[in-house]
Amino acid sequence: MEPRGWLPLLLRLGLICLLGAPSEPRLRVFVVPHSHMDVGWLHTVQESMQAYVTNVYNTVVEELTLEKKRRFIAVEQEYFRLWWDGVASDNPGDVTWPFLSAHHAKVRQLVSEGRLEFVLGGQVMHDEAVTHFDDQILQLTEGHGFLYETFGIRPQFSWQVDPFGASATTPTLFALAGFNAHVISRINYNLKEAMQDNQQLQFVWRGSRSLSAQQEIFTHVLDKFGYCSEGFYWDGEPIFPHPPENGWYPSMQFPVTWERLQSFVEAVLYNVWVRAAWFWTPHVLWPWGCDRQFFNASLQFANMDRVLEQVNKFAYQHGVSMEYATLGGYFRAVHAHQLSWPVRDQRDFLPYSSDMHHAWTGFYASRSGLKALARRASALLYAGESMFTRHVLLAPHPHLDPAWGLQQLQQLRWAVSEVQHHDAITGTHALEVGDMFVEHLSSGMQGVHTLMASIIQDRSPAQSGPEPGGRLAVVYNPLAWTVTTIITLTVDFPNVSITDESGHPVPAQVQRSKEVPSAYDLHVLTTIPGLSYRHYSIHPSRRPQEDTLEPVTSLASSRQFGRRLRRRGGLVGGSLVPVENDCYTVFLDKDTNLMHSIWERWSNQTVQVTQSFMEYHAKSDFDQGPISDNYVFRPSGRAKPAWEAVRMEIVAGPLVTEIRQEFYREVDDREPTFAIYSRLAHRPQSSDGELLCHRIEQEYRVGPLELNREAILRTSTDLNTGRVLYSDNNGYQMQRRPYRNYTNNIIAQNYYPMVQSAFIQDRRSRLVLLSEQAHGVSSQGNGQVEVMLHRRLWNNDKWAVENDLTLNDSSVVHPVLWLLLGPWTLTSGLRQRSGLALQHRPVVMLREMNETARRGSGFKLQEAVTLPSSIHLQILSIPGWKYSSNHTEHLQTLQKGLDHCHHYHYRHHHLHHLTFVMVPHLQGLGSGCSPLPCSVLQSVLQGLGSVVSVEERSLTGTWDVRKMHRWTWSTRDPPRHRECVCPCVCGCVNVCAHVCSRPHPPPMSR
C-alpha cells in the first residue's frame, strides 16, 4: 500500500490541524527496523545469501556504527550464523580487538550497547501449525546456544510475525525459554478486527492449562498493517541471483527530498494515529521493513532519518514523537506503564483465514512427503543423540572421535531446524527450494547413520566370522522405557532362522512383501529396555522346517477376496470376516471389502467403523475466484469417493495379522491408487505388550493423484460426536474443535492441523488417531473424522506459475496412522505413550554377516535406563557449546578477549555437558502438576558416569533457572490463579549435568 493512499490530502491536512495546540507529545512511536528473511521460500538459502542477506548484515552493521540513534532487530540465526562465520569473519580487525575481524568487532559493540537486538533467536521463524514441539525446542536451542556462546546474550522477545496461525504451545515454550514478551500476527481476519476495535491486541497468554505464571507470557498481536511498512522502503527489491552492478534495484522509492518530505510525514502520522486507537498505552509499535529489506541500509536509514527528524521537530504541535527502537525498547515502555492486562486461556489461533474466502488450511497437507521426511529425520536425530551421549560417556570408544561424532549430529540438528521454517515443512516453497530441504535432511541423516554404524562398530569390533550370507540386525530403543514391539525387515528368502544375542530363537513371522513381489517381510517380536540394544542374527534356513530342529520362522498364510465394486446403497454387513487379537476384533465386510466394525474387549463395546478414500476437487481457475494452492484449501464442493473397486487380502501368522485393502480408481485399473495395510499384533505372554495389543497400525498408499485433487481418508463411525473433534497443538496438548457454521467456505474453515494425534468420542467410546507426521484433520459429519493425506494442484495464477509454486506433487506417499479405540479411561493413558512409541520407533541397523560376529560374542551390554511410565525423557544429548554454565564466568571469558588457547580448554571442559528435558507427559501436560522425583534424575544419570553437579536450566539451556527472572505482567485475573506452583513441574525440566565419564583410553582420530 502506498502512503499516499492512506488518506486524501484534504483530510490529512484537516487531521494535522485537529491535532491542535502545542503540548507534550502524547504518542511515542517505536520504529523497529527489521528485514524478514525466509530461510528458503522462492529461493534457496544460498541464493538468498548471495542476492541480499549478506548485504543486509554488511550494510546494517555499517549504518548502525555510523549513527548512534539507529537500531535493528535480527531474527533468523541460520542466516546470521552463515554471515558471521563467512563474510563477516574475513575482513581484518582493528586496534582494540586485533584478533577479531572488523565486522565481528563492530557487531559485538552494537550488541553490547543494545543497538542490534536479537529477537526470537531461533535458527528460523518456525511454523506453529505443523511442527512438533520437540523440533521447535531444537531449532530455538540451536540459535540460542550460538548467541549465548558468542555474545553472552539471551533473546527475551519473540517475533513470530509470519507463521500462518498461532499455536498455544508457543507461549508455554517461550516462557520456559525466558522470554518476556511474545509477538504474533497472522490470526483470523475478523477476530483481529474485533480485537483492534476492543483494544484487545495485547494480553497475557496462558498457553497451557496449568495456571502457573511460569508458563504465561505477555502477547502482542500486530495490528492489520502486520510487519510491513509499505511505502517506506528505499532500497527496492533484491535481484536474484546477483545484486546488480550499478546498485539500481526495481521498485526503489523516490528519496525523501524537501519537496516530498511533508507527504511522507503526513502519511506516517496518519498511520500512527489510526494504530494508536487500537492500543491501551500511548506507545505505537511501528515495524519498519518487510520481506528482504535493508540490503541497502544506507539508503533506508538516510531517508528515514529525515522523516523522523521532521516529525520530532514538530512533536509538540502534533503530539507524536518517533524514535528508532528495538523490540525490547518498545516492550520496556509498555511494561513500565503497569497496567492490568486481560488473560487469554489455552485456546490457539488456528486455523488462520486472511479473509472470508481464504482459509489457510491447505498447507496442513501440502508436500506430504517432505512432512514425513522431516519427522523421520527428527526421530533419527533423537535416537542418535542419546546413543552417542551414552556411548561417549560410558564406553571405551577406540575408533570413534567424539568431535567428529558431534559434527554429524550438528549437521542433522541444522537440517531439522531449517525445515521447521514457516515456508519449509508447510510445503509453501518453490520446487527447487524443496529439493534443498530434502538434500540437507538426507545428507544429515546419512551422517548420523554413519555415526550409528561407527558406534556399533566400536561396541562389537569386527571379527572374521564363519557364517557368510546372513545378516546382523542391531536394534536400538531410543525411549527410556522398555518397549515391546514388532520390527519389520525385508529379506529375499522365505525360509529364515533368527536368533538373539544368546543364540536363542526369536519369535518371528515371514510373509510375501505387499509391494515387492520377489521380497519378503520379516516381522520380529522384540522387547528392548530403555536406551539399549538388541542384536539378532538372521540366516537363510538351509532346509525346510520339517527336516531339521533348527528354529525356522513361521510363514504366514493368506486369504484373498476378489474385487468388489463400490456399492451405492444396498445391504452391507451380511457376511463378516473377523480378524482379532487380545484387545480388538476387527470385522470386515465380505460384500464390500471394507471395514465394518471393531469390538473392543476391555469395555465389551462394538463400534461401527468404516473407512474410505475420498477426494475434494479443488478450485483451480484463478480468474474465477479463490483457488486451492500450497497455502489455501478451496474445494469446489463436498468430498467424493475416489475409487470404484477394492480388493482385499488377509495375511495371518502367529505374530501379526495384516489386512491389505487396495482401492482402484477405475474398475479395471491394474495398479491401485490407494491402499490400507492394517496390522493387528498378537500379544506375547507378558505384560509389556499392552501398547502393542491396543492399536491397529495402518499404513497407507496414496497416489499418484490426478490434478487438482485433495485426497482424504474418511473414517465414519456410529459414535455420537456432534461433530466435535479434538486435535493437538504440536504434539503438546489437545484442543477441542467444535464444528462451526461459517457462512462462507465452511469445509475449509473446519480443517485443523494434526501433528501427532486427534480423536472423536461419545459417552461410550473414543476413537484416537495417532500420526507419524502432520496432516490436516476435520470432522465434517457426526461420528466422522477425516485426514487429508495428499494434495496435487495446478493453477493458472501467473505469479505462482512463474515462481514454481504450484504443488504439482505427483508422488506416491505412505503415511502411517495408529488407531486406538476404547473408553476415554483406557485411551487417554494409552494415547500419549503410544504417540511416543510411534514417534520414536526402534532404530534398526543391518550389517552383513560375512565380516563379523560369532554368535553371542563381542557385544558389550549397556545398562538400561527405565523411567517411570509417567515420565518421558525429552532429550539426552551433548550440546557441544563452548560456554560455562556460570554466567559471570562466561562473560568474563568473552571479555578477556576470547583467547584461543583458553577457548580450546573451555570447549573440552564442557564437552560433557548434558541437556535433557523431561516431560511428565502422562499426567497430562498442563493439566496438573507433580514434582519431578529425584529418583527419576538419578536413574538417568547413573547410566552416565559420576555426576559432579546438576542444575536446572531454562528450556534452551542458556539460563540457570534460579537466575532467570522474567518480567511479571499484572493481570485482571483473581490472584488465586497466580499462585506459584514451584517447585512443581508442569512442563519441561531442562537439566544440565556435569559428568565425569568413566575413565577410558583417549579416542583415536579417524
Contacting positions for Zn ion (CB under 5 A):
38, 162
Among 230, 420, 222, which residue's Cα sits nearest to residue 327? 222
Among 373, 392, 762, 800, which residue's Cα sits nearest to residue 605? 762
DSSP state of 166: B
Q: How far is the CB of 467 from Zn ion (least distance, A)?
A: 56
User: Which of 128/162 has CB closer to Zn ion?
Assistant: 162
Q: How far is the CB of 818 from Zn ion (least distance, A)?
A: 33
- CA 326 from chain centre, in angstroms, equals 28
In angstroms, rounded to a whole number, what is the distance separating the alpha carbons of residues 253 and 269? Answer: 19
User: Which of 238/1003 has CB closer to Zn ion?
Assistant: 238
User: Which of 163/384 has CB closer to Zn ion?
Assistant: 163
User: Which of 38/772 has CB closer to Zn ion?
Assistant: 38
Which residue do the cell numbers 507461549 mark?
Answer: 171
Q: How far is the CB of 303 from Zn ion (least distance, A)?
A: 25
In angstroms, rounded to a whole number, what is the distance separating the alpha carbons of residues 180 and 120? Answer: 11
The H or E element that residue 447 is part of is helix 431-459
Q: Is 162 a catalytic residue?
A: yes
In angstroms, rounded to a whole number, what is the distance separating the alpha carbons of residues 112 and 576? Answer: 73
User: Which of 164/203 has CB closer to Zn ion?
Assistant: 164
User: Which of 38/662 has CB closer to Zn ion?
Assistant: 38
| CA distances to 368, 667, 794 from 705, in Å | 13, 16, 12
Q: Residue 180 in contact with residue 934, Cβ under 8 Å?
A: no
Dmax (CA) of the chain: 107
Residues 6+ positions from 901 with CB-CB distance below 8 Å = none
Q: How far is the CB of 627 from Zn ion (least distance, A)?
A: 21
Q: How far is the CB of 428 from Zn ion (least distance, A)?
A: 9
- What cell numbers appear for 637 in the block? 464442493
Name the residue whose CB lies closest to Zn ion: 162
In angstroms, rounded to a whole number, what is the distance separating the alpha carbons of residues 499 and 537? Answer: 5
Q: How far is the CB of 40 from Zn ion (least distance, A)?
A: 10
Q: Residue 205 in contact with residue 188, Cβ under 8 Å?
A: no
Q: Pseudo-torsion of CA 904, 887, 913, 873, nearest 10°?
A: -150
User: Which of 38/78 has CB closer to Zn ion?
Assistant: 38
Q: How far is the CB of 135 from Zn ion (least distance, A)?
A: 18
φ/ψ of residue 190, rounded to 5: -80, -25
Q: Residue 531 in contact with residue 574, Cβ under 8 Å?
A: no
Residue length of the chain: 1006
Coil, helix or strand at residue 777: strand
Among 74, 748, 43, which residue's Cα sits nearest to residue 358? 748
Burial class (CB in 10 A: 0-12, 13-18, 19+), 563: middle
Task: Name the active-site residue from 38, 162, 223, 521.
Answer: 162
Quick one: CA dihedral 412, 414, 415, 419, positive or negative?
A: positive
Strand segments (E) across 87-173: 116-118
Among 211, 214, 279, 347, which residue's Cα sits nearest to residue 974? 211
- What cell numbers appear for 184 in the block? 504474533
User: Which of 227/663 has CB closer to Zn ion?
Assistant: 227
For strands 181-184 and 216-221, give the pairing: parallel
Q: How far is the CB of 165 from Zn ion (least distance, A)?
A: 13
User: Which of 187/929 has CB closer to Zn ion?
Assistant: 187
φ/ψ of residue 688, rounded to 5: -65, -20
Q: How far is the CB of 759 from Zn ion (least distance, A)?
A: 32
User: Which of 218/227 has CB closer to Zn ion?
Assistant: 227
- What cell numbers appear for 899 in the block? 583467547
φ/ψ of residue 674, rounded to 5: -130, 150
Q: How far is the CB of 228 from Zn ion (least distance, A)?
A: 11
Q: Residue 438 in contact with residue 424, Cβ under 8 Å?
A: no
Burial class (CB in 10 A: 0-12, 13-18, 19+), 900: exposed
For strands 576-580 and 584-589, give the pairing: antiparallel
**3-state secondary structure string across 858-872:** CCCCCCCCCCCCCCE
Phi/psi class of residue 811: alpha, beta or left (left: φ > 0; alpha: ψ in -120 to 50)?
beta
Q: How far is the CB of 421 from Zn ion (least distance, A)?
A: 8
User: Which of 162/809 has CB closer to Zn ion?
Assistant: 162
User: Which of 38/658 has CB closer to Zn ion?
Assistant: 38
User: Which of 162/658 has CB closer to Zn ion?
Assistant: 162
In angstroms, rounded to a whole number, what is the distance separating the alpha carbons of residues 237 and 551? Answer: 70
Q: How far is the CB of 162 from Zn ion (least distance, A)?
A: 4
In angstroms, rounded to a whole number, what is the distance separating the alpha carbons of residues 448 and 411? Answer: 9
Among 430, 431, 420, 436, which residue's Cα sits nearest to residue 129? 420
Q: How far is the CB of 38 from Zn ion (least distance, A)?
A: 4
| CA distances to 53, 242, 424, 941 from 436, in Å | 18, 19, 10, 39
What amino acid positions are annotated as catalytic residues? Answer: 162
